[in-house]
Structure 1
Amino acid sequence: MTVRTCAAAAAILASAGCGASSTEPDATDPKKLPPINVRAGSMKAGFGTIERLVEAAKREGQLNVIGLPRDWVNYGEVIDTFADKFDIKVNELEPGASSRRELEAAPKLRPDVFDLTLDVAVAQAGKFAPYKVAGWQDLPDPIKDPAGNWYAAYGGYMSIGYDPRAVKPPATFADLLKPGYRVALDGDPLRSASAFDGVLAASLRNGVPQASQGVDLFARLKQEGRLTDLTKANAIVAWDYLNAARSAHQSDAWQVTIPRDAPLGDYRVQAINKDAPHPAAARLWQEFLFSDDGQNLLQKGFARPARGEAMLMRGSLDAEQAAKLPKAPGPPVLVTIPQADAAKAYVKEEWSKRVG
């Protein structure tokens, strides 16, 4: 991702939390409908109408998803709604799989669709079947592959969730070094993309990642005995949709802030397995996920919908739920893939030695 596309995507992410006129095509003359092609690159080319896509997906009867925890951005309700709406069985494979694990396991487990970090999707684009959803024009160019190999469905900001009964609201990552904070990352940064991004956010200086600064902060917390696990922490560094979900369940005991000096943002992208065993169901899943209903269900899980700006303009975005998203201090910083790779190399080299 270039600096220019990062800047453009940042503006979109900021506005999405606050169309193509529809996510379904107009009715088509039955005599002019194309032959059904379950591996086509768009609904129009392969099916002609959403109804024909639904029929083809129902004939397959199943969909294999991977790496979708049910408590992550409301995926439990998304999956159940899809299954009930279309009468298709959804097989949930390895819900806790990382992006890299999703692709490693694909030859054996045969998922139909993926939910991935951007860097993994870009590097592995050859493993995906190009497909452009009906709402393609609503997706900003910087967050979709021009060929349709991958496309962002939702995004978020790195945040600090905290217990207001135990500590004062942290305005910056440096505040976590003040007395009283017991801090946790959302996993091990050597294995978890979310935890690594927490270190990356703490490393930002004037919008530029300096990995040593992030490792320094957590090394100091470790030395002082205040870097702990999730169950013992009164401050958790995680994506805002994860911290906001915690807050929704215990609002008096958990609040969320996005540090004003380090508003790191990122997107999760979708892709169809080139070897999908249920290719029509895979395409229907993407159409559902990017429909107004699907995007609003993701927002219900406190994610920021990729089509959010267009939906807001048309009045189809759930404004009440949008108002519940953690307040952003401004457009996010979106690091480039080379910047992220350099930070990963540093963390891999230093984390075990300095933090353990």
Structure 2
Amino acid sequence: MGVAALAVAALALTACSSSTAASSSSSSVDAKTATDAAAFGGMDALVAAAKTEGALNVIALPDDWANYGKIIEAFKAKYGITVNSASPDASSAEEITAATSLVGQDTAPDVFDLGPAVTLANTDKFAPYKVSSWSDIPDANKESTGLWVNDYTGLMSVGYNSNVVKTAPTKLDDLLGSDYKGKVAINGDPTQAGAAFAAVGLAAVQSGGSLDDFQPGIDFFQKLNKAGNFLTVDPTPATIASGETAVVFDWSYNNLASAAATPGWKTTILPGTAYGSYYNQAVSADAPHPAAARLWQEFIYSADAQNLYLAAGAFPVLLTAMDAAGTTDKTAQAAVGTMPDNFVSPTAEQSSAAAALLSANWATAIQ
């Protein structure tokens, strides 16, 4: 999700003993193969099994990304389960690398939060699980057996430091101008990170391309690079605060978090087609804490966690269902607003095709 380089050998999660993880549930239940809470005997039994394990390993969840800091704290407070958070700035691809490297170890990730392209390329790493609110999640937002499920989306936006950039961008091509020399960054490598992938997607749909044709988006960043405006630095709170990355393509909820931390940071949604893409929850097939992993999914798809996404400016997948049930945080919803009418988001097939195109053409375009 973030894009700091990851040395897998240095990954460190607070270790839990194998015996503790193995005794996660009653002898009649294999938590690793449970596909819903009923397999445990209901939610109370799932909670008990997860508490017996006592820990959950998460990865690539920065505190200021879609409110994950508060979501983790709320999970810990509700269930009394320790949450070990590794490599918060890792990319989606690095999550999978970590899971592969740590397979069979107590420190391996239990759950993932992944961009679409990486999700679709790694379904063999996931265990199917259907949360209790499964029927409220639209069919288009989930894999039919529960291998992956959309959790939230934002709008791809442009954040900029108004103390450094005096001319606010009002259209995509503005960023090709001399005012943006050496200033424009994206959140990672689009062949690995969901936010960077979406930056190219936004450029595509605003440059004559479409969800079926990302090439105009690649061409735009090639022009940005040739103009000397593209900055191959992964933005972090430090680079944003210092002004090193003065303009950043990123999700609206991330740029809003930067605005809260950095004086003068502003966020704009460019006019025209708005681009979004849901991230995906998945349970690791190799989860060392399989009951806690499934309880985490239940919590993520509860109104409590979905409203915490909303409070950070991310649109949760259960928003329509919560509106109907009267469980939406209306204060948060009023602050965030509604999804624009011109919003587009790629399907699984479109994401896979775009990922293949980026793998083939991105490195050459920006060299």
- TM-score of the two chains, using structure 2 as the length reference: 0.78
Provide the rounded CA distance (Å) in 2 between the counterparts of 1:274 and 1:353.
35
Secondary structure of the structure 2 residue equivalent to 1:324: helix
Instruction: Summarize the Cα distance change of 1:98–1:168 in structure 2 as closer, same or farther, 3 Å threshold.
Output: same
The reply on whether 1:188 has 2:194 as its aligned counterpart is no
The reply on whether 1:239 has 2:240 as its aligned counterpart is no
How far the C-alpha of 1:269 sits from its partner, in A, is: 0.9
Choose from 206, 226, 229 the match for 1:223: 226
The amino acid across from 2:256 in the alignment is A
Choose from 55, 70, 80 the match for 2:63: 70
Asked whether the equivalents of residues 258 and 329 of structure 1 are also in contact (C-alpha less than 8 Å), the reply is no
The amino acid across from 1:123 in the alignment is A
The amino acid across from 1:296 in the alignment is N
Choose from 98, 101, 120 the match for 2:94: 101
Instruction: Summarize the Cα distance change of 1:340–1:150 in structure 2 as closer, same or farther, 3 Å threshold.
Output: closer
The reply on whether 1:153 has 2:151 as its aligned counterpart is yes
1:13 matched to which residue of 2? none
Counting only pairs closer than 5 Å after superposition, residues 1-356 of structure 1 correspond to structure 2 as: 38=31, 39-48=33-42, 50-107=43-100, 108=102, 109-164=107-162, 166-181=165-180, 182-204=183-205, 205=208, 207-208=210-211, 210-228=213-231, 229=233, 230=235, 231=239, 232-250=244-262, 253-325=264-336, 328-356=339-367
Secondary structure of the structure 2 residue equivalent to 1:297: helix
Provide the rounded CA distance (Å) in 2 between the counterparts of 1:341 and 1:54.
36
Provide the rounded CA distance (Å) in 1 between the counterparts of 2:122 and 2:259.
35
Percent identity of the aligned residues? Answer: 40
Provide the rounded CA distance (Å) in 1 between the counterparts of 2:193 and 2:314.
19
Secondary structure of the structure 2 residue equivalent to 1:90: strand
Provide the rounded CA distance (Å) in 1 between the counterparts of 2:53 and 2:282.
19
The amino acid across from 2:145 in the alignment is A
How far the C-alpha of 1:99 sits from its partner, in A, is: 2.5
How far the C-alpha of 1:154 sits from its partner, in A, is: 0.9
How far the C-alpha of 1:60 sits from its partner, in A, is: 0.9
Question: How many correspondences in the alignment?
Answer: 320
Provide the rounded CA distance (Å) in 1 between the counterparts of 2:246 and 2:89.
24
Instruction: Summarize the Cα distance change of 1:86–1:337 in structure 2 as closer, same or farther, 3 Å threshold.
Output: closer
Asked whether the equivalents of residues 67 and 99 of structure 1 are also in contact (C-alpha less than 8 Å), the reply is yes
Secondary structure of the structure 1 residue equivalent to 2:277: strand
Range moving further from structure 2, 162-171 or 71-80: 162-171
Secondary structure of the structure 1 residue equivalent to 2:344: coil
Q: Which stretches of structure 1, 4 residues or more, deviate above 6 A after TM superposition?
A: none
Gaps of 5+ in 2: 1-27
Range moving further from structure 2, 64-73 or 175-184: 175-184
How far the C-alpha of 1:178 sits from its partner, in A, is: 3.4
How far the C-alpha of 1:64 sits from its partner, in A, is: 1.3
Asked whether the equivalents of residues 260 and 329 of structure 1 are also in contact (C-alpha less than 8 Å), the reply is no
Provide the rounded CA distance (Å) in 1 between the counterparts of 2:221 and 2:306.
35
How far the C-alpha of 1:223 sits from its partner, in A, is: 2.9
How far the C-alpha of 1:285 sits from its partner, in A, is: 0.7
2:25 matched to which residue of 1? none
- TM-score of the two chains, using structure 1 as the length reference: 0.80
The amino acid across from 2:185 in the alignment is A
Secondary structure of the structure 2 residue equivalent to 1:280: helix
Provide the rounded CA distance (Å) in 2 between the counterparts of 1:119 and 1:217.
21
Provide the rounded CA distance (Å) in 1 between the counterparts of 2:69 and 2:148.
22
Secondary structure of the structure 2 residue equivalent to 1:133: coil
Output the aligned Cα RMSD: 2.5
Asked whether the equivalents of residues 117 and 194 of structure 2 are also in contact (C-alpha less than 8 Å), the reply is no
* 1:156-199 CA-partner distances (Å, limit 9, x unpaired): 22111123453444333122223423321112334433223212
The amino acid across from 2:252 in the alignment is D
Range moving further from structure 2, 172-181 or 61-70: 172-181
Asked whether the equivalents of residues 37 and 47 of structure 1 are also in contact (C-alpha less than 8 Å), the reply is no
Instruction: Summarize the Cα distance change of 1:175–1:96 in structure 2 as closer, same or farther, 3 Å threshold.
Output: same
Secondary structure of the structure 2 residue equivalent to 1:114: strand
Provide the rounded CA distance (Å) in 2 between the counterparts of 1:226 and 1:94.
29
Asked whether the equivalents of residues 119 and 148 of structure 2 are also in contact (C-alpha less than 8 Å), the reply is yes
Gaps of 5+ in 1: 1-34
How far the C-alpha of 1:299 sits from its partner, in A, is: 2.1
Asked whether the equivalents of residues 161 and 247 of structure 2 are also in contact (C-alpha less than 8 Å), the reply is yes
Instruction: Summarize the Cα distance change of 1:202–1:134 in structure 2 as closer, same or farther, 3 Å threshold.
Output: same
How far the C-alpha of 1:139 sits from its partner, in A, is: 0.8
Range moving further from structure 2, 73-82 or 257-266: 257-266
Secondary structure of the structure 2 residue equivalent to 1:115: strand
Provide the rounded CA distance (Å) in 2 between the counterparts of 1:216 and 1:167.
26
Asked whether the equivalents of residues 240 and 326 of structure 1 are also in contact (C-alpha less than 8 Å), the reply is no
Provide the rounded CA distance (Å) in 2 between the counterparts of 1:140 and 1:273.
23
Provide the rounded CA distance (Å) in 2 between the counterparts of 1:207 and 1:283.
36
Provide the rounded CA distance (Å) in 2 between the counterparts of 1:257 and 1:242.
12
